[in-house]
Amino acid sequence: MKNLPIEILDAVDHTLAKPTRIHPLDTANGRPFWIKREDELSSGISGSKLRKYASLIPYLKKKGVEHVAMIGGPNSNNLVGLAQLLRENDISQTAFVREAADAQLRGNALLLDMLLNEDEIRFITRGQWQAVETTARTYLDNLPIQKTHLLCEGCFGIEGLPGAMTLAADILRNEEESNLYFERIYIDCGTGLSALGLILGLACLSSSARPKREIVVTLIAESEEGFLQKLKKLTPSLAQEYGLELNIRDHIRFIKPQLSPKFGSINKSLFEECRKIAQNTGLIMDPTYSVKHYHAATNDLSLNSIKKPSLFIFNGAALGVMGFQDKLSP
Protein backbone atom coordinates (compact mmCIF):
# COMPACT_ATOMS: atom_id res chain seq x y z
CA MET A 1 0.00 0.00 0.00
CA LYS A 2 1.30 3.41 -1.00
CA ASN A 3 -0.52 5.47 1.58
CA LEU A 4 -2.33 4.86 4.84
CA PRO A 5 -5.89 3.51 4.70
CA ILE A 6 -8.50 6.15 3.96
CA GLU A 7 -10.14 5.65 7.39
CA ILE A 8 -6.88 6.78 9.00
CA LEU A 9 -6.22 9.62 6.55
CA ASP A 10 -9.74 10.95 7.10
CA ALA A 11 -9.11 11.24 10.85
CA VAL A 12 -6.12 13.55 10.29
CA ASP A 13 -5.78 17.29 9.68
CA HIS A 14 -3.11 17.23 7.00
CA THR A 15 -2.37 20.93 7.36
CA LEU A 16 -0.87 19.97 10.75
CA ALA A 17 0.76 16.62 9.85
CA LYS A 18 2.79 18.03 7.01
CA PRO A 19 5.61 16.42 5.05
CA THR A 20 9.08 16.90 6.55
CA ARG A 21 12.44 16.50 4.88
CA ILE A 22 15.31 14.13 5.52
CA HIS A 23 19.01 14.76 5.04
CA PRO A 24 22.19 12.81 5.63
CA LEU A 25 24.20 13.30 8.80
CA ASP A 26 27.91 13.21 8.54
CA THR A 27 29.02 10.42 10.83
CA ALA A 28 32.78 10.19 10.99
CA ASN A 29 32.79 6.46 10.29
CA GLY A 30 31.01 6.75 6.96
CA ARG A 31 27.90 4.70 7.80
CA PRO A 32 24.90 6.11 5.96
CA PHE A 33 22.89 7.86 8.66
CA TRP A 34 19.99 10.19 7.86
CA ILE A 35 17.84 12.43 10.00
CA LYS A 36 14.14 13.18 9.69
CA ARG A 37 13.43 16.78 10.60
CA GLU A 38 10.22 16.44 12.60
CA ASP A 39 11.45 19.48 14.52
CA GLU A 40 10.53 21.55 11.47
CA LEU A 41 6.82 20.75 11.76
CA SER A 42 6.26 23.72 14.03
CA SER A 43 8.16 26.66 15.43
CA GLY A 44 6.59 26.30 18.87
CA ILE A 45 5.43 22.69 19.24
CA SER A 46 7.70 19.69 19.56
CA GLY A 47 7.45 17.71 16.30
CA SER A 48 6.07 14.36 17.41
CA LYS A 49 3.39 16.14 19.43
CA LEU A 50 2.07 17.95 16.40
CA ARG A 51 1.45 14.69 14.55
CA LYS A 52 -0.59 13.39 17.49
CA TYR A 53 -2.59 16.61 17.70
CA ALA A 54 -3.25 16.35 13.97
CA SER A 55 -5.86 13.70 14.79
CA LEU A 56 -6.61 14.67 18.40
CA ILE A 57 -7.84 18.17 17.51
CA PRO A 58 -10.18 16.93 14.74
CA TYR A 59 -11.48 14.32 17.21
CA LEU A 60 -12.24 16.99 19.82
CA LYS A 61 -13.89 19.23 17.22
CA LYS A 62 -15.98 16.39 15.82
CA LYS A 63 -17.23 15.58 19.30
CA GLY A 64 -18.06 19.24 19.86
CA VAL A 65 -15.80 19.44 22.91
CA GLU A 66 -15.87 22.93 24.38
CA HIS A 67 -13.52 22.55 27.32
CA VAL A 68 -10.43 20.40 27.82
CA ALA A 69 -8.60 19.56 31.04
CA MET A 70 -4.98 18.58 30.54
CA ILE A 71 -2.41 17.23 32.96
CA GLY A 72 1.36 17.48 33.12
CA GLY A 73 4.58 18.44 34.83
CA PRO A 74 5.83 22.04 34.86
CA ASN A 75 8.28 21.30 32.02
CA SER A 76 5.86 19.41 29.82
CA ASN A 77 6.24 19.87 26.04
CA ASN A 78 2.74 18.44 25.76
CA LEU A 79 1.00 21.15 27.79
CA VAL A 80 2.80 23.93 25.91
CA GLY A 81 1.89 22.40 22.55
CA LEU A 82 -1.73 21.73 23.46
CA ALA A 83 -2.21 25.20 24.93
CA GLN A 84 -1.26 26.68 21.55
CA LEU A 85 -3.54 24.51 19.45
CA LEU A 86 -6.52 24.60 21.81
CA ARG A 87 -6.39 28.38 21.79
CA GLU A 88 -6.11 28.44 18.01
CA ASN A 89 -9.17 26.21 17.78
CA ASP A 90 -11.15 28.16 20.33
CA ILE A 91 -11.50 25.27 22.77
CA SER A 92 -11.27 26.52 26.36
CA GLN A 93 -8.83 24.77 28.67
CA THR A 94 -7.61 24.15 32.19
CA ALA A 95 -4.10 22.85 32.80
CA PHE A 96 -3.47 20.82 35.96
CA VAL A 97 0.22 21.32 36.54
CA ARG A 98 2.47 19.63 39.09
CA GLU A 99 4.04 22.23 41.33
CA ALA A 100 7.60 22.96 40.23
CA ALA A 101 10.61 22.37 42.45
CA ASP A 102 12.21 25.33 40.66
CA ALA A 103 10.46 28.56 41.66
CA GLN A 104 11.89 30.49 38.71
CA LEU A 105 9.79 30.64 35.57
CA ARG A 106 11.86 29.27 32.73
CA GLY A 107 11.60 27.01 29.70
CA ASN A 108 8.23 25.35 29.22
CA ALA A 109 6.96 26.63 32.57
CA LEU A 110 7.51 30.16 31.28
CA LEU A 111 5.89 29.43 27.92
CA LEU A 112 2.85 27.92 29.62
CA ASP A 113 2.61 30.96 31.87
CA MET A 114 2.65 33.15 28.77
CA LEU A 115 0.02 31.09 26.97
CA LEU A 116 -2.54 30.64 29.75
CA ASN A 117 -4.16 33.12 32.05
CA GLU A 118 -4.34 32.62 35.82
CA ASP A 119 -7.75 30.95 35.74
CA GLU A 120 -6.55 28.39 33.25
CA ILE A 121 -3.75 26.92 35.40
CA ARG A 122 -4.26 24.93 38.58
CA PHE A 123 -1.12 23.98 40.46
CA ILE A 124 -1.22 20.64 42.22
CA THR A 125 1.16 19.94 45.08
CA ARG A 126 3.45 16.94 44.85
CA GLY A 127 1.57 15.34 47.71
CA GLN A 128 -1.72 15.55 45.83
CA TRP A 129 -0.35 14.67 42.43
CA GLN A 130 -1.41 11.03 42.71
CA ALA A 131 -5.07 12.09 42.69
CA VAL A 132 -4.71 14.61 39.86
CA GLU A 133 -6.95 12.73 37.42
CA THR A 134 -9.79 12.62 39.96
CA THR A 135 -9.28 16.30 40.73
CA ALA A 136 -9.43 17.21 37.04
CA ARG A 137 -12.45 14.97 36.45
CA THR A 138 -14.35 16.52 39.39
CA TYR A 139 -13.47 19.98 38.11
CA LEU A 140 -14.87 19.17 34.66
CA ASP A 141 -18.01 17.62 36.14
CA ASN A 142 -18.72 20.83 38.03
CA LEU A 143 -18.37 23.11 35.02
CA PRO A 144 -21.59 24.52 33.57
CA ILE A 145 -20.55 23.03 30.22
CA GLN A 146 -21.79 19.75 28.76
CA LYS A 147 -19.08 18.77 26.34
CA THR A 148 -15.79 18.41 28.19
CA HIS A 149 -12.82 16.12 27.72
CA LEU A 150 -10.00 14.99 30.01
CA LEU A 151 -6.59 14.42 28.45
CA CYS A 152 -4.27 12.27 30.51
CA GLU A 153 -0.58 13.04 30.99
CA GLY A 154 1.34 12.90 27.71
CA CYS A 155 -1.95 12.54 25.81
CA PHE A 156 -1.59 8.82 25.41
CA GLY A 157 -4.65 7.39 23.68
CA ILE A 158 -6.08 6.11 20.44
CA GLU A 159 -7.24 9.60 19.37
CA GLY A 160 -3.68 10.68 18.62
CA LEU A 161 -2.73 7.49 16.83
CA PRO A 162 -3.90 8.25 13.26
CA GLY A 163 -1.85 11.45 13.35
CA ALA A 164 1.19 9.61 14.73
CA MET A 165 0.85 7.03 11.94
CA THR A 166 1.41 9.70 9.29
CA LEU A 167 5.11 9.60 10.20
CA ALA A 168 5.35 6.15 8.58
CA ALA A 169 3.73 7.31 5.35
CA ASP A 170 5.97 10.36 5.21
CA ILE A 171 9.10 8.22 5.64
CA LEU A 172 7.99 6.14 2.65
CA ARG A 173 7.58 9.34 0.65
CA ASN A 174 11.11 10.43 1.67
CA GLU A 175 12.48 7.05 0.65
CA GLU A 176 10.87 7.19 -2.73
CA GLU A 177 12.03 10.73 -3.41
CA SER A 178 15.60 10.00 -2.34
CA ASN A 179 15.69 6.48 -3.75
CA LEU A 180 16.57 4.95 -0.38
CA TYR A 181 15.32 2.25 1.94
CA PHE A 182 15.92 2.55 5.67
CA GLU A 183 16.48 -0.85 7.18
CA ARG A 184 16.84 0.68 10.61
CA ILE A 185 14.87 3.53 12.16
CA TYR A 186 15.73 5.12 15.51
CA ILE A 187 12.85 6.74 17.39
CA ASP A 188 12.53 8.02 20.96
CA CYS A 189 9.78 7.12 23.37
CA GLY A 190 8.00 9.02 26.14
CA THR A 191 4.52 7.58 26.48
CA GLY A 192 5.37 5.56 23.36
CA LEU A 193 2.48 6.79 21.22
CA SER A 194 4.72 8.24 18.51
CA ALA A 195 6.81 5.07 18.25
CA LEU A 196 3.64 2.94 18.27
CA GLY A 197 2.23 5.15 15.51
CA LEU A 198 5.36 4.54 13.45
CA ILE A 199 5.23 0.78 13.98
CA LEU A 200 1.48 0.51 13.29
CA GLY A 201 1.73 2.89 10.34
CA LEU A 202 4.45 0.73 8.83
CA ALA A 203 2.28 -2.32 9.48
CA CYS A 204 -0.31 -0.78 7.14
CA LEU A 205 2.25 0.18 4.54
CA SER A 206 4.97 -2.44 4.47
CA SER A 207 5.35 -4.71 1.53
CA SER A 208 6.61 -8.26 1.87
CA ALA A 209 8.74 -7.56 -1.20
CA ARG A 210 11.00 -5.32 0.87
CA PRO A 211 13.43 -6.38 3.60
CA LYS A 212 12.11 -6.24 7.15
CA ARG A 213 13.06 -3.14 9.02
CA GLU A 214 14.45 -2.83 12.49
CA ILE A 215 12.74 -0.18 14.62
CA VAL A 216 15.04 0.83 17.46
CA VAL A 217 13.15 2.51 20.30
CA THR A 218 15.11 4.69 22.76
CA LEU A 219 13.32 4.32 26.09
CA ILE A 220 13.45 7.84 27.50
CA ALA A 221 10.41 7.57 29.79
CA GLU A 222 8.95 4.08 29.39
CA SER A 223 10.06 0.50 30.00
CA GLU A 224 10.32 -2.26 27.42
CA GLU A 225 7.51 -4.22 29.15
CA GLY A 226 5.34 -1.11 29.36
CA PHE A 227 5.84 -0.36 25.68
CA LEU A 228 5.09 -3.92 24.57
CA GLN A 229 1.97 -4.00 26.72
CA LYS A 230 0.72 -0.80 25.12
CA LEU A 231 1.44 -2.24 21.67
CA LYS A 232 -0.50 -5.37 22.54
CA LYS A 233 -3.47 -3.36 23.77
CA LEU A 234 -3.54 -0.66 21.12
CA THR A 235 -3.11 -2.87 18.04
CA PRO A 236 -6.50 -4.64 18.29
CA SER A 237 -8.24 -1.42 19.39
CA LEU A 238 -6.94 0.39 16.32
CA ALA A 239 -7.79 -2.53 14.04
CA GLN A 240 -11.32 -2.61 15.40
CA GLU A 241 -11.91 1.14 15.47
CA TYR A 242 -10.87 1.61 11.85
CA GLY A 243 -11.57 -1.84 10.40
CA LEU A 244 -7.94 -2.54 9.58
CA GLU A 245 -5.89 -5.66 9.25
CA LEU A 246 -2.61 -5.01 11.01
CA ASN A 247 0.37 -7.17 10.42
CA ILE A 248 3.56 -6.03 12.12
CA ARG A 249 6.48 -7.32 10.04
CA ASP A 250 9.25 -5.19 11.45
CA HIS A 251 11.57 -6.18 14.23
CA ILE A 252 11.47 -3.99 17.34
CA ARG A 253 14.55 -3.51 19.48
CA PHE A 254 14.97 -1.34 22.57
CA ILE A 255 17.88 0.75 23.78
CA LYS A 256 18.26 2.89 26.87
CA PRO A 257 19.85 6.29 27.16
CA GLN A 258 23.28 6.28 28.77
CA LEU A 259 23.49 10.01 29.34
CA SER A 260 21.66 10.98 32.52
CA PRO A 261 19.30 8.03 31.98
CA LYS A 262 16.53 8.81 34.45
CA PHE A 263 13.68 10.67 32.73
CA GLY A 264 13.85 14.39 33.42
CA SER A 265 17.30 14.17 34.99
CA ILE A 266 20.14 16.31 33.72
CA ASN A 267 23.88 16.47 34.26
CA LYS A 268 27.03 18.09 32.94
CA SER A 269 27.78 15.48 30.25
CA LEU A 270 24.28 15.89 28.83
CA PHE A 271 24.87 19.60 28.25
CA GLU A 272 28.36 18.97 26.87
CA GLU A 273 26.81 16.52 24.42
CA CYS A 274 24.12 19.06 23.49
CA ARG A 275 26.84 21.59 22.59
CA LYS A 276 28.90 18.96 20.77
CA ILE A 277 25.92 17.91 18.62
CA ALA A 278 25.26 21.55 17.72
CA GLN A 279 28.88 22.06 16.65
CA ASN A 280 29.20 18.79 14.75
CA THR A 281 25.82 18.66 13.03
CA GLY A 282 24.29 22.13 13.15
CA LEU A 283 21.31 20.75 15.07
CA ILE A 284 19.96 22.38 18.20
CA MET A 285 18.46 19.54 20.19
CA ASP A 286 16.34 19.52 23.35
CA PRO A 287 18.28 17.86 26.20
CA THR A 288 15.25 16.08 27.71
CA TYR A 289 14.62 13.74 24.78
CA SER A 290 16.61 14.37 21.63
CA VAL A 291 20.15 14.71 23.01
CA LYS A 292 19.74 11.48 25.00
CA HIS A 293 18.18 9.80 21.96
CA TYR A 294 20.89 10.97 19.58
CA HIS A 295 23.68 9.88 21.88
CA ALA A 296 22.10 6.45 22.39
CA ALA A 297 21.36 5.97 18.68
CA THR A 298 24.80 6.95 17.38
CA ASN A 299 26.38 4.77 20.04
CA ASP A 300 24.17 1.86 19.00
CA LEU A 301 25.04 2.42 15.37
CA SER A 302 28.74 2.14 16.07
CA LEU A 303 28.21 -1.03 18.15
CA ASN A 304 25.68 -2.64 15.82
CA SER A 305 26.86 -1.43 12.49
CA ILE A 306 24.85 -1.94 9.30
CA LYS A 307 25.87 -1.01 5.81
CA LYS A 308 22.33 -0.07 4.75
CA PRO A 309 21.02 3.42 5.53
CA SER A 310 19.57 4.16 8.97
CA LEU A 311 17.19 6.96 9.84
CA PHE A 312 17.16 9.02 13.03
CA ILE A 313 13.83 10.61 13.95
CA PHE A 314 14.34 14.05 15.49
CA ASN A 315 11.03 14.50 17.29
CA GLY A 316 12.06 17.48 19.37
CA ALA A 317 12.40 21.19 18.95
CA ALA A 318 15.10 23.79 19.46
CA LEU A 319 12.79 25.55 21.93
CA GLY A 320 13.59 22.69 24.30
CA VAL A 321 16.94 24.30 25.18
CA MET A 322 15.17 27.35 26.57
CA GLY A 323 14.89 26.07 30.12
CA PHE A 324 18.60 25.23 30.32
CA GLN A 325 20.33 28.39 29.19
CA ASP A 326 22.40 28.87 32.34
CA LYS A 327 23.49 25.22 32.26
CA LEU A 328 24.36 25.30 28.58
CA SER A 329 26.66 28.29 28.72
CA PRO A 330 30.20 27.08 29.31
Which residues of this protein are in contact with ligand PLP, per CB under 6 A?
Answer: 46, 48-49, 77-78, 154, 188-195, 286, 289-290, 315-316
- Strands 67-72 and 92-98 come out as parallel
Nearest distance from C-beta of residue 19 to ligand PLP, angstroms: 19
Nearest distance from C-beta of residue 190 to ligand PLP, angstroms: 3
- Please state, in angstroms and as integers, the Cα–Cα distance from residue 313 to each residue in 83, 85, 107, 137, 192, following that order: 24, 23, 23, 35, 14
Nearer to ligand PLP, 69 or 164 (CB): 164
Nearest distance from C-beta of residue 29 to ligand PLP, angstroms: 26
Nearer to ligand PLP, 67 or 313 (CB): 313
> Cα–Cα–Cα angle for 253, 257, 262, nearest 5°?
125
Q: Contact, 315 vs 78, CB < 8 A?
A: no
Nearer to ligand PLP, 184 or 293 (CB): 293
Nearest distance from C-beta of residue 187 to ligand PLP, angstroms: 8
Nearest distance from C-beta of residue 188 to ligand PLP, angstroms: 5
Nearest distance from C-beta of residue 196 to ligand PLP, angstroms: 8
Nearest-angstrom CA–CA distance, 314 and 327 = 22
Nearer to ligand PLP, 190 or 323 (CB): 190
Q: Contact, 46 vs 282, CB < 8 A?
A: no
Q: Contact, 301 vs 310, CB < 8 A?
A: yes
Q: In this chain, which residue has its C-beta nearest to ligand PLP?
A: 190
How many of the other CB atoms lie within 10 Å of CB of 53? Answer: 29
Nearer to ligand PLP, 77 or 235 (CB): 77
Nearer to ligand PLP, 46 or 93 (CB): 46
Q: Contact, 204 vs 165, CB < 8 A?
A: yes
With CA atoms as reference, report the closest residue to 37 among 316, 241, 314: 314
